[in-house]
Amino acid sequence: MRVVREAADGLEAIQEAEELQPDLILLDIGLPKLNGIEAARRIRKLSAQSRILFVSQESSADVVEEALSLGAWGYVVKAHAGSELLAAVEAVCQGRRFVSSGLSGDSVVEVSSTQTRGRLGRAGALTPGREIIHSHEVEFYRDDESLLAGFTRFIEAALRMRNPVVVIATPSRRNRLLQRLQARGWDMATALQEGSYISLDVSDALSRFMVHDWPDSARLSKLACDLMEQAAKASKRGRPRVAACGECAPTLWAQGKREAAIQVEHLWDEIARSHDIDILCGYLADEFQRTENRHIYERICREHSAVCSH
C-alpha cells in the first residue's frame, strides 16, 4: 500500500479525491470546513470507485448508520483503531465491509476480518460496558475574536451531527455566538425553543456549584447531568452525544482563583470520562504569558484530553 496524499479538512479531501481517484480513503467525521459525512457525499459523486473507510471518535449508532448509508465500506471507532484499523483496511481492500466490533443494534452488517457478524441499528444501543470516548479539550486563543471563532467551529460540528449543544459563557459571548451561528445559516431560534441549544450565563452556573469560593463536586455533577439530560431529551437523535463549551474555569482564573479553576477542570474531566459528552474549554493565551503562571498553565493542560493553541 502507498499513501498518495493527506488532507487536513473536508474540502481539501474532496479536491484530492477528485484529482487522484484513490482506491481507498480513510475519512474522519469531525473535520474542519466541511465534516466527513458531507465530504463523503460529494466524494461518492466525484470519485465513485474510491472505497471510503470512516475512522472517527463518534460511536453513535445514528452516525454510523448515516455514514454507511452513503456507501462507505467500513467504520472504525478511534478507540479501537489500534487493534482494528489494519484489519479494516485489509477487509475493505478485499471487497468486504467492516464495522468496529464494539458497535451493536438491529441491522446486520459484516464486521472484522474473521467474518463474524454484528448488529447496528437505530435503537442506538452500543454493547453494555462500552468504552466511553474521553473528550475534554482546551484551546488557548490569542484574542476574544479567535475564541469566538473556535467556539463557533466546535458548535457547528455538533449541529451538523444533530447533537445537542450546551454553552456556558458571559452574556456578551453568548449573544455574539448566537449572532455568528444565525449569520452562518443556523436556525438558532428553533434550537433554543426546542432545547437542543442551551445557553447558560457563566455567573449563574458558578453560583450553582461554588461554595465559599470552592467547587462542590456533587453540585457540579448535578448541574452537568441536569444540562446533559435536558439537552439529550430535546435531541432528534436516538443516542446523542452532547457538546458543551464554556468558560467556568477560565472565569475563575480571571478572578484570581487559580486553584479553584484547576479543580473545576479536574471535575469536568471526570465527567468527560464517564459520559457521552464532548467538552471544549477556552482561555485567552495572554493570561499565561508571565513566567509565574507557567506551572499553572501546565497543570490546566494535564486536566484535558487534548490541548490546542490558536
Which of 88, 85, 93 is closest to 51 using CA atoms? 93
* Cα separation, 124 vs 152, whole angstroms: 27
Say whether pLDDT at 110 is over 60. Answer: no
Cβ neighbourhood burial of 264 (10 Å; 0-12, 13-18, 19+) = buried
pLDDT tens per residue across span 125-138: 223 334 457 789 89
Say whether pLDDT at 124 is over 50. Answer: no
Mean of per-residue pLDDT scores for the chain: 83
Sign (positive or negative) of CA dihedral 246, 223, 62, 184: negative
Grid coordinates standing for 101? 466490533
Write the CA distances from 226 to 76, 206, 279, 286, integer angstroms: 31, 15, 15, 33
Q: For 265-278, b where at least 16 C-beta lie within 10 A, e where not — what string?
A: bbbbbebbeebbbb
For each of the domains in the chain, give its residue range(s) and CATH number, in order of start: 10-120 (3.40.50.2300), 135-309 (3.40.50.300)
Contact 119, 67 (CB under 8 A): no
Q: What is the CA radius of gyration of the chain?
A: 21
Give the pLDDT mean for 259-269. 96
Task: Quote the pLDDT of residue 169.
Answer: 97
* Cα separation, 111 vs 267, whole angstroms: 37
Neighbours of 131 (CB within 10 A): 12
The number of angstroms, rounded, from the C-alpha of 96 to the middle of its chain's C-alpha atoms is 29
Which residues have CB under 8 Å from 199's CB, separation 6+? 167, 169, 174, 177, 178, 192
Mean pLDDT is highest, among 120-129, 230-239, 275-284, for 275-284
Contact 127, 144 (CB under 8 A): no
168 strand-pairing partners: 200, 246
Which of 51-55, 62-66, 185-189 is predicted least confidently? 62-66
Which of 10, 61, 55 is closest to 31 using CA atoms? 10
pLDDT band for position 114 (cuts 50, 70, 90)? very low
* Cα separation, 207 vs 217, whole angstroms: 13
Give the pLDDT mean for 4-15. 90
pLDDT tens per residue across span 180-199: 999 999 999 999 999 999 99
Neighbours of 142 (CB within 10 A): 12
Which of 20-29, 61-70, 117-126 is predicted least confidently? 117-126
What phi and psi values does residue 58 have, to the nearest 5 degrees?
-65, 125
